[in-house]
Structure 1
Amino acid sequence: MHSRNIILVGRDRDTWGPAGLTQGVYGTRGNLELVACDAAEGLWVFWFNADSADDPLTTPDVPPGAWSSGLGFADGSRYVDAQIVQSTLGPDHLEVVALTAGGVLESWYWSPGPGFQRRAPVVADGIRAFRLTHRDGELEVAVESLDGGRSLIVSPAIGYPERFWSACDGAAPLDDDAAGMLAAHGIRDAQPGTVRSARSSRDGGTTELTWRDADGGIRHLGIPD
């Protein structure tokens, strides 16, 4: 199937930095959702039609096995990293956490109609790097501060769609073995620090890899189990 094809995402968009990916619930088989930082300001979200050619055609603008051309949002700020997860709340809302060039970690959510909306207050300030995870409506953000300290910030589902953030004891890891998996498949042109992985149910279970190639393009490869 199309899972093993290396695909260029957002070829007509000027983006930079690592891209975040998750499997959503839209489409017959669960489309993929990808968020990336614009090179100047704002964010882009792209979605991948994970349906097969035999499924009912619900999105004629993006054929099965292809990525959309992208939707821009969050104008006015420059971002260095953004990550996305599919929420169990909403219903079917998407959650985005994005890090500005000034070290401010922001929270956004997507809902039908209004689209992406930014929340206040911010998640945290003085942040260098982060990793977003989701469980039953709760968000966990592992962060590394500008001074090198690590901590875990949690937002429960209480009061949704508003979110309130609190620091917890312990520090979750920020990295995974995505770069090693990419190298194991003979791909060695990835820019350092841009390789990300996510799990999906495609083809019975797939590891979705994204990275920046030597020319700066976002690449996507699905590796079935």
Structure 2
Amino acid sequence: MNSLTPLHVGPSHLRTLGPVSLAQGVYGARGNLELLACDAHDGLWVFWCNADLPTDPPADGDVGPGQWSDGLHFAAGDRYTRAQIVQSVLGPDHLEVLALTAQGILQSWYWSPEHGFLRRPTDAADSVRTFALAHEHGVLRVTTETSSGELRHFRSEAAGYPERSWADASEGPGLDDDALAALVAAGVAADDVEAGTARAARSTRGGGTLELTWRDAATGGIRHVAASLE
């Protein structure tokens, strides 16, 4: 993999909790990147990266090609320990967010260009210690580990969107998503990565890219590097 230069995401003073989540969006000529992080004290942060090239037609907004935005804070009033974001085919082009509170409630949110981020009245699950989210054709699949160590699987169909209901399922995504080996292969020193924060997501830019994120072990800041899959 040919690694590009690591980028800082968010202000240097920002402190976050847990691993961040990254998904490829649909905006711009090449599909922007969306990154979700839990504030260490209150709420959530979302950042977006202009993934276009300088030679592409200018995108809306004030974020230049190859740069990350300053970030948007939302969901104030709750402290979160883990959150995931995925690009939805519904809406169209809405974003789906599941966010786990410190009290073990797995909240369900979505983003639309008209209203921004909105929390749904129905939560996905409770008594959750950790979780994993997957999306396919508007269907959300979730695996949770409860506070007692039990694995549970849930599924939410697209019917009735933007509202969602959750039903028990027989299977779901795996919980083991550590990407430290991929980071090391991309040239990042393992000692520079805060334990448990290395994550990877695939994007289509550059003919296929592994988008790697982690929190810096020394500063606590969010980092992102793109590694070619070619």
Aligned-partner residue type, residue 91 of structure 1: P
Q: Secondary structure of 1:180's match?
A: helix
Report the identity percentage.
56
Which position in structure 1 is the counterpart of 2:216?
213
State whether residues 153 and 171 of structure 2, in contact with CA within 8 Å, keep that contact through their aligned partners in structure 1.
yes
In structure 2, C-alpha distance between the alignment counterparts of 1:203 and 1:186, rounded to whole Å: 19
Which position in structure 1 is the counterpart of 2:176?
175
Aligned-partner residue type, residue 89 of structure 1: L
Aligned length: 224
Can you give the 5+ residue segments of structure 1 that lack an aligned partner in the other structure?
A: none
Q: Secondary structure of 1:4's match?
A: coil
Which position in structure 1 is the counterpart of 2:124?
123
Give me the TM-score of the superposition, normalised by structure 1: 0.95
* Cα-Cα RMSD: 1.5
Which position in structure 2 is the counterpart of 1:10?
10
Matches within 5 A, 1:58-77: 58-77=59-78
In structure 2, C-alpha distance between the alignment counterparts of 1:92 and 1:211, rounded to whole Å: 26
Which position in structure 1 is the counterpart of 2:135?
134
- Relative to structure 1, the CA distance from residue 15 to residue 172 in structure 2 (aligned partners, 3 Å threshold; closer, same or farther) is closer
Matches within 5 A, 1:26-37: 26-37=27-38
Residues 62-102 of structure 1: CA distance to partner in whole angstroms, max 9, x if unpaired?
11000000011101100011110000000100000000011
Matches within 5 A, 1:144-223: 144-170=145-171, 172-176=173-177, 178-187=179-188, 188=190, 189-214=192-217, 215-223=219-227
Residues 141-185 of structure 1: CA distance to partner in whole angstroms, max 9, x if unpaired?
111111111121110001000000011123531113511111223
Aligned-partner residue type, residue 224 of structure 1: S
Residues 85-135 of structure 1: CA distance to partner in whole angstroms, max 9, x if unpaired?
000000100000000011110010000121000002110001011111100
In structure 1, C-alpha distance between the alignment counterparts of 2:3 and 2:156, rounded to whole Å: 33
Give me the TM-score of the superposition, normalised by structure 2: 0.93
